[in-house]
A = this chain, B = another copy of it.
């Protein structure tokens, strides 16, 4: 069924879905590629190309049925199920993520939290999940049928934790550690690196200033 879909297309699909959800469209409402493009900060042609990669579900002369389009996007993105997520690392980032209610609402359920700090192990978070010893990583991942792990440990521990999760069968990793994780081909890693984003800003600012003179 699937051609090769680019990373950027997937990112935009996620964005389109968020836009549609924010509108909580009344039944029957329609949306055009021009609409979506304006809000997503891209072009109408881009929106149509992205969507047409998965079939043609627009009506010529009208646009897309907003509700149907949202459903279709959820289906394409694999969001019709609940993903079971384990959070590895109960530090600042970990706890901020855990408290971020949007995950749960969007189908990512944090079913386990692990850390190696004895002061944290055994404590209960939000009266729901107990922090467990990362020592027992494999057991926890299996017991909870975890699909995805969030790596929120220091860089020095990240590769080991990732290796163990992969060995335990995990195929998706959201990585907050500032290094490139080495994983087998069939494992998908997404990186979040705020320092890199800031450095990209720094680059832009430094070189934007130069635009006038060059």
Contact = CB atoms under 8 A, between A and B. Distances in A.
Given A18-B195, A77-B202, 13 more contacts: A13-B199, A14-B200, A18-B178, A39-B180, A78-B205, A92-B100, A108-B198, A148-B201, A171-B205, A172-B201, A174-B197, A186-B208, A190-B201
Interface string A15-35: 101110010000000000000
A45 interface: no
Contact of A207 (B2, B19, B197): B2
The 6 closest A-B pairs by CB, nearest first: A78-B206, A188-B204, A96-B96, A41-B180, A14-B199, A78-B202
A79 interface: yes
Interface of A: 1-2, 5, 7, 10-11, 13-15, 17-19, 22, 39-41, 76-79, 83, 92-93, 95-97, 99-100, 102-103, 106-108, 147-148, 155, 171-174, 178-180, 182, 186, 188, 190, 192, 194-208, 210, 214
Given A41-B180, A208-B186, A195 B14 contact: yes
Contact of A198 (B174, B179, B194): B174
Contacts of A10: 199-200, 203-204
The dominant DSSP class at the A interface is: helix
Contacts of A200: 7, 10-11, 14, 188, 190
Contacts of A197: 174, 190, 192
Contact of A188 (B5, B39, B95, B208): B208
A195 B103 contact: yes
